[in-house]
Amino acid sequence: MAILTIDEIRKTFTNGEVKEEILKGINLSLKEGEITALVGASGSGKSTLLTIAAGLQSASDGKVVFEGLDLINMSSEQVRKIRASKFGFVFQFAHLVPFLTVEEQLKLMLDVSETKLKKKEQKKEIDKILILVEMDHRKNAYPSSLSGGEKQRVAIARAIIHQPKVLFADEPTASLDSKRSKDVMTLIRNLTKTLNITTLMVTHDEEMLSFADSIIKMSDGQILQNAV
């Protein structure tokens, strides 16, 4: 079942008198419990597509339908609320708050996402997620004492702590070595399946494609083929 559908999405940028079409009528459906990987050369439009699908920037034309709602035609406040409560984000770098412990990072996300959990419920949820990402033994640690792989695990925990429907991952392993990259992708895949999350991932690393259920190849703002 498709939870998010991208319908004829176009994106045009204007530089002076020159117009450049970055996305040229993209159609894509994301299924529950599956990882879809976007691959292609730099400038192919994959990161632009991800940010439009996530409501982080607007499209020039087309629809992004999530749970029956078209994000393109919603107000910025409506889209913000959906991002905060229904979407999770993981980027190349963890971007953890340096003065917060691992546990506090997750509590902050719960507060921002307006889950309205009571203090005991928050602690229970945080403990559960930290066990899932194998970071429960580091919950009182600060980012400065964590390895790159540990930071990314915390970033993933933060992205799913509020039980989002869709996880957007933009080059989640680009800053990691080969072993840590595989560990992080194994974690993302396991969480996608266990929690029935829909994951859309941008990657340059072909070794990470084996973790995806569907691979979308892009070039010059268009989908070349659905490889899987």
pLDDT-based confidence at residue 227 (cuts at 50, 70, 90): very low
CA distances from 194 to 33, 34, 150, 198 (A): 8, 11, 20, 11
pLDDT-based confidence at residue 226 (cuts at 50, 70, 90): low
The two structure tokens encoding residue 49: 């597509």
Residue 30 Cα to chain centre, angstroms? 13
Pairing between β-strand 61-66 and β-strand 222-226 as defined by DSSP bridges: unpaired
Asked if 125 and 110 count as a contact pair (C-beta separation under 8 A), the reply is: yes
Q: Which residue has better confidence, 20 or 34?
A: 34
pLDDT tens digits, 132-148: 999 999 999 999 999 99
What are the phi and psi torsion angles at 176 (to 5°)? -115, 160
Evaluate if residue 225 carries a pLDDT over 70.
no
> Hey, CA dihedral for 173, 174, 179, 182, is it positive or negative?
positive
For residue 141, the model assigns a pLDDT of 97
**Whole-number Å distance between alpha carbons of 178 and 93:** 16
Q: Across residues 175-188, what is the average pLDDT?
A: 92
User: Hey, is 219 helix, strand or coil?
Assistant: strand
- For the chain, the average pLDDT equals 92
| Percent share of the chain, pLDDT over 90 | 79
In eight-state DSSP terms, residue 51 is H
Count CA atoms closer than 13 A to 151's CA, side-chain side. 20
Cα–Cα nearest to 79, from 103, 29, 87, 227: 87
Q: Across residues 170-183, what is the average pLDDT?
A: 91
CA distances from 127 to 12, 107, 162 (A): 44, 11, 13
Q: Which residue has better confidence, 164 or 228?
A: 164
pLDDT tens digits, 73-104: 999 999 999 999 999 999 988 999 999 999 99
User: Hey, is 225 helix, strand or coil?
Assistant: strand
**Element holding 166 (H helix, E strand):** strand 166-170
User: Hey, is 44 helix, strand or coil?
Assistant: coil
Residue the block writes with tokens 């084996």: 210
Evaluate if residue 35 carries a pLDDT over 90.
yes
The two structure tokens encoding residue 34: 């599956």
Cα–Cα nearest to 209, from 190, 182, 187, 191: 182
Check if CATH label 3.40.50.920 holds for domain 2-226.
Answer: no
Evaluate if residue 228 carries a pLDDT over 90.
no
For residue 138, the model assigns a pLDDT of 95
The two structure tokens encoding residue 161: 């702590």
For residue 114, the model assigns a pLDDT of 74
Q: Across residues 174-189, what is the average pLDDT?
A: 92
pLDDT tens digits, 2-29: 899 999 999 998 877 778 899 999 999 9
